[in-house]
Amino acid sequence: MKTIRLYSKEDCHLCEEAKIILAAAAVRSPFEVQVVDIEENPVLHKLFVEHIPVVEVGESTRLYWPFEPDDVLQALDAPVESDKRAGETAHPVVSGRARDLVILADRLIYRFAKHWIAVIGFFIGVYAGLPLLAPILMANGYTGAANLIYSAYRFACHQLPSRSYFIFGQQIAYCHRDTAIYTSLFLAIMLFAFVRNRLRPLPWQGYVAFIVPMAIDGITQLVGLRSSNWQLRTITGALFGIGSAWLALPYLEEAFQDIRLSVSRQLNLE
């Protein structure tokens, strides 16, 4: 007999209505209902807390409230039709070495989805930190390594001395604004690791408020209306970095949690 998952929680009157609807659908086409309390799993809570009740049929079909018995029965029949089509094409079953490679790939995907903040934070940290390392290397006589960093970042920044910080009398490999953007982005990613389950995405209207100051500062200076200074470039760059992180990171967390949940079900990792 087929099984349908119902994601719910206690004290949810809509979840009780969903159970009645599922019972009515089961009379017409029998199936079992597995009730899953999202309060017992932080990943499920993050995914479904704003949407319950949610019905999941198989591995690919979800019904979000409101739904009716006909919706449930239609979703229940869809996998059967899909299986028939798959049988007609006679695809071979994956086994042996190919199966091992698929499992290995799934495990790597799962690990990345679980530790994506550390991975992305590492690469952002390297990108943000190398320009700060360049003047230190130059001041200590490692000119070859320092010049390599300066050359690499020249493609991303104008590197004007008048708009850059200096360490030990040597110029940082990118400007005031870029220093603020990437440093604040790195720090925001590190902070997000502690609030990943509580922080909501920044609304686009709020994001505009974070990027407009940098746009005004940069454009008015570019067209010659005024001259900016290191304080404004630093503040507006930091606002842009923080706003970008606040906008993107919660969405990434939700996407990776969904991937993690899907893979963990297939491999019984959680």
Neighbours of 161 (CB within 10 A): 9
Looking at residue 60, what is its pLDDT?
67
Residue 14, in any domain of the structure: yes
Residues 72 and 163 in one domain: no
Which residue, 91, 106, 132, sits at the end of a domain? Answer: 91
Domain identity same for 9 and 45 = yes
235 part of a folded domain: yes
Q: Does the residue 226 lie in any domain?
A: yes
Residues 250 and 137 in one domain: yes
Residue 148 shares a structural domain with residue 227: yes
Assess if residue 101 is contained within a domain: no
Q: Give domain status of residue 214, yes or no.
A: yes
- Spatial distance between the Cα atoms of 119 and 115, rounded to a whole number of angstroms: 7
Instruction: With beta carbons less than 8 A apart as the criterion, state whether 157 and 173 touch.
Output: yes
pLDDT at position 38 = 85
Question: Does 45 reside within a domain?
Answer: yes
Q: How many domains does the chain have?
A: 2
Q: Based on the fold, state whether residues 123 and 217 are members of the same structural domain.
A: yes
pLDDT for position 80:
45
Per-residue pLDDT at 46:
77
Same domain, 242 and 153: yes
* pLDDT value, residue 270: 55
Q: What is the pLDDT tens value at each position of the chain, 270 positions in all?
A: 688 888 888 888 888 888 898 888 888 888 888 888 888 887 777 778 788 888 888 766 788 888 888 888 888 876 444 444 444 444 444 445 776 787 788 888 889 999 999 999 999 999 999 999 999 999 999 999 999 999 999 999 999 999 999 999 999 999 999 999 999 999 999 999 999 888 999 999 999 999 999 999 999 999 999 999 999 999 999 999 999 999 999 999 989 988 888 877 766 655
Cis, bond preceding 92 (omega within 30 deg of 0): no
Residues 164 and 57 placed together within one structural domain of the fold: no
3-class DSSP assignment, residue 34: strand
Is residue 50 within 8 Å of 9, Cβ to Cβ? no
* 7 assigned to some structural domain: yes
Residues 225 and 128 grouped into a single domain: yes
pTM for this entry: 0.65
Helices (H), the chain: 13-28, 42-48, 69-89, 96-114, 116-139, 143-153, 176-195, 204-222, 230-267
- Burial of 211 by CB count in 10 Å (0-12 exposed, 13-18 middle, 19+ buried)? middle
Range of the domain at 87: 3-91
Q: What is the pLDDT of residue 87?
A: 45
CATH code, domain with 13: 3.40.30.10
Report if residue 64 sits inside a domain: yes
